[in-house]
Structure 1
Amino acid sequence: MGGKSGERSKVGGFFYFTLLLWLGYVCFHILFNKRTQLLYVIAGSLFYQTANSLIRLFSSDPLFVNTSVSLVHSTTTSASVIFILFREWLSNGTNGMFDHSQLVEGTWPWAYEALCFSCGYFAYDQWDMLRHHLYSGLIPSILVHHLVLLICFTLALYRNVTINYLILTLICELHSIFLHVRKVRRMAGFRNSKSKIVKVEWFLNWITFFVARLVSHILITAKLIRDAHKFGRGVELPLALFGMFGMNLLNFGLGIDLFNAYKRERKPQQTNHHHHE
């Protein structure tokens, strides 16, 4: 047991260190380079930490609290992305909206702030998961995922490039809403798979998985590959392709997990106690 806890503390130590490095980087640019727009990142972290504290008044289960805050993030981010895209469409139409120059160098109104806010959430979530040990394994995929997102988002925000591309990738948060709703529902003890609410929830889960996550990320990847020659010699294209490759891989794994969870929930109620998730 000692070996396992030692490994866990080493893993935790590494991710704590990278999180502190990230925070130092952001604060340095706010204080010394006068990048005051990055204050929205700090505001995002504080907003979700406040949500955590409020939910903790009703539940002491760290996983329930963490999932509930994730649900708040998914809902907030989805609403922001839809608002940004709808506002842009109303103002300028779709003509040129998805041009390479617009996606890489342009920034739709409120896109920068929304991306900062979401970046702040990933920092908060990394901190919360580390503090309450809500991860497992020698290389916890959730912590790696958050670290990669923090690096990609922060670099994009600092260099002020690919902001609109990243806003498009966040459309997947629409699906995350129903992932978190399902998790919260099950933790709250509501597991009747025959109820209409659960059936509607699964329907929306699958629709948003295919439209907002699977198809949208494949289309973004295809667009990146098609416009590869339009990118400069910088780090943007390799980083974007690497990020999208990882996203698509995660989506494939998530699809398999979803299908298995759906099969388990469809089984007769009496066999449900064999499958505690």
Structure 2
Amino acid sequence: MARTEQGGDRAGAFFLATLLLWLVSILFEILFNRRDELVYVIAGCLFFQAANWIVRRCISRDPLFVNTFVSLLHSSTTSASVVYILLSQWMKDGSGTMFEHTQLVGGAWPWAYKALCFSCGYFAYDQWDMLQYRLYGGWIPSILVHHLILLLCFTLALYRNVTINYLILTLVCELHSIFLHSRKIRRMVGIRDAESMIVKVEWVLNWGTFFLARLVPHILITAKLIKDSSKFRSGVELPLALFGMAGMNMLNAGLAIDLFGAFRREISPMNSNRRRD
């Protein structure tokens, strides 16, 4: 995540405006429509902002390091909660009914709604943090687009109380995000020896979770949506779900390219050493 240059100011203004509109919408739902359950969204924002302040005060004041550290915290807590939710439901009902259309669209597994609210709050916090410190680059920053898509999909699902379980399944990808963020922190603190065991193991886990926790689950979720498309009622649920998954799959493709490039750059010292030997 590179710091933006002057060309990204217009993009920043656009995404800041959308974030403010999102906040107004959330507060309106809580205060005027009495949607008290959405308080967990605000709790998520405040929790990760508090973590930001603590890291900034106690560990480092570098905005990129702080942002990455808090992102690692989110990935770790979200992964743990998603795994807990899925395992609990699996042990309770088994896989036979767990992935039925009615369960995925109209139901909400225990703690799923709260977990989704909390994660939604994180993405709002992270969007604000990146905008505040300009931790993005380009005319159309992919990370800001990613967060906007997630905020749109998550918030509408929370408002309508639909596809909650589908969205919990998409959050399995946070297992991979753990290793994306840990790699960035590792490099920031100066651990860059490509021949070290830490780096090698990290790359194995990085690629393994990319395929098993991000790429494959998102493709399977998309396939499930298409397969069950006739079971959706007329409305915005199916178009929104397909739009969200199309965006995620496109971003996953871009991430794969970036990850492969980073992998080649990081192992190049090893290749150079072999050639000299």
TM-score by length of 1: 0.94
Q: Does 1:211 align with 2:212?
A: yes
Flag the 1:30–1:256 CA change in 2: closer, same or farther, 3 A.
Answer: same
Equivalent AA in structure 2 for residue 73 of structure 1: H
Counterpart-to-counterpart distance in 2, 1:241 and 1:270: 42
The answer to whether the 8 Å contact 2:44/2:122 transfers is: yes
Counterpart-to-counterpart distance in 1, 2:89 and 2:5: 50
Indicate the structure whose relative CO is greater, using CA pairs within 8 Å and at least 6 residues apart.
Answer: 2
Note the C-alpha offset of 1:184.
0.5
Counterpart-to-counterpart distance in 2, 1:244 and 1:223: 11
SS in 2 for 1:95: helix
Q: Bigger shift: 99-108 or 196-205?
A: 196-205
SS in 1 for 2:149: helix
Q: Does 1:136 align with 2:137?
A: yes
Note the C-alpha offset of 1:95.
2.1
Structure 2 unaligned spans of 5+: none
The answer to whether the 8 Å contact 2:56/2:66 transfers is: yes
Flag the 1:206–1:6 CA change in 2: closer, same or farther, 3 A.
Answer: closer
Counterpart-to-counterpart distance in 2, 1:51 and 1:136: 24
Equivalent in the alignment of 2:26: 26
Equivalent in the alignment of 2:175: 174
Note the C-alpha offset of 1:189.
0.9
After superposition, the CA RMSD in angstroms is 1.6
Q: Does 1:52 align with 2:55?
A: no
What is the identity percentage for the equivalent residue pairs of Structure 1 and Structure 2? 68
Equivalent in the alignment of 2:9: 9
TM-score by length of 2: 0.94
Within 5 Å, give how 1:248-267 maps onto structure 2: 248-267=249-268
Equivalent AA in structure 2 for residue 250 of structure 1: L
Q: Does 1:90 align with 2:94?
A: no
Within 5 Å, give how 1:217-228 maps onto structure 2: 217-228=218-229
Flag the 1:5–1:214 CA change in 2: closer, same or farther, 3 A.
Answer: closer
Equivalent in the alignment of 2:114: 113
The answer to whether the 8 Å contact 2:149/2:247 transfers is: no
Structure 1 unaligned spans of 5+: 273-277
Note the C-alpha offset of 1:5.
6.8
Number of equivalent positions: 269
